[in-house]
Chain A
Amino acid sequence: DTGVSQDPRHKITKRGQNVTFRCDPISEHNRLYWYRQTLGQGPEFLTYFQNEAQLEKSRLLSDRFSAERPKGSFSTLEIQRTEQGDSAMYLCASSVGRGQGAPETQYFGPGTRLLVL
Chain B
Amino acid sequence: AQSVTQPDIHITVSEGASLELRCNYSYGATPYLFWYVQSPGQGLQLLLKYFSGDTLVQGIKGFEAEFKRSQSSFNLRKPSVHWSDAAEYFCAVGALAAGNKLTFGGGTRVLVKP
Residues of A within 8 A of B (CB): 4, 6, 31, 33, 35, 40-45, 48, 55-56, 91, 93, 95, 97, 100-111, 113
Known A41-B107, A42-B90; judge A55-B102 contact (CB<8 A).
Answer: no
Partner of B106, one of A31, A42, A100: A42
* B interface, CB within 8 angstroms of A: 4, 32, 34, 36, 41-46, 49, 51, 90, 92, 94, 96, 99-107
Chain A's closest residue to B51 (CB) is A103
In the complex with contacts A42-B106, A42-B107, A104-B44 CB distance below 8 A: no
- Chain B residues, Cβ within 8 Å of A109: 43
Residue pair B41, A104 in contact (C-beta under 8 Å):
no
Q: A91-B44, A111-B42 are in contact. Are A103 and B100 (CB under 8 A)?
A: yes
Asked if A91 contacts B43 (CB within 8 A), the reply is yes
User: Nearest Cβ distance between residue B93 and chain A, in whole angstroms?
Assistant: 11
Specify which chain B residues have a CB less than 8 angstroms from the CB of A40 in the assembled complex: 106-107
Task: Name A46's closest neighbour in chain B (CB-CB).
Answer: B101
A42 partner residues in chain B, CB cutoff 8 A:
4, 90, 92, 104-107
Given contacts A42-B90, A42-B106, A103-B32, whether A95 and B43 have CB atoms under 8 Å apart is no
- List B contacts of A95 (CB < 8 A): 100
Contacts of A48 in B (CB 8 A): 99-101
Per the bound structure, the CA–CA distance linking A109 and B44 in Å amounts to 7
Complex Cα gap A47–B106 (Å): 20
Complex CA distance for A113 and B44, rounded to whole angstroms? 14
Contact between chains at B100 and A41 (CB < 8 Å): no
- Report the Cα distance A97→B94, complex, angstroms: 13
In the bound complex, residues from chain A placing their C-beta under 8 Å from that of B34 are 105
Can you name the residue of chain B whose Cβ is closest to the Cβ of A43? Answer: B104
A108 touches B43 (CB 8 A): yes
**A35-B102 Cα distance, complex, nearest whole Å:** 9
Nearest to B109 among chain A residues (CB) is: A40
Nearest A residue (CB) for B106: A42
Alpha-carbon distance A3/B4, docked complex (angstroms): 27
* Shortest distance between the CB of B32 and any CB in chain A (Å): 4
> In angstroms, how far is the closest chain A Cβ from the Cβ of B107?
5
What is the CA–CA distance of A31 and B94 in the complex, to the nearest angstrom? 14
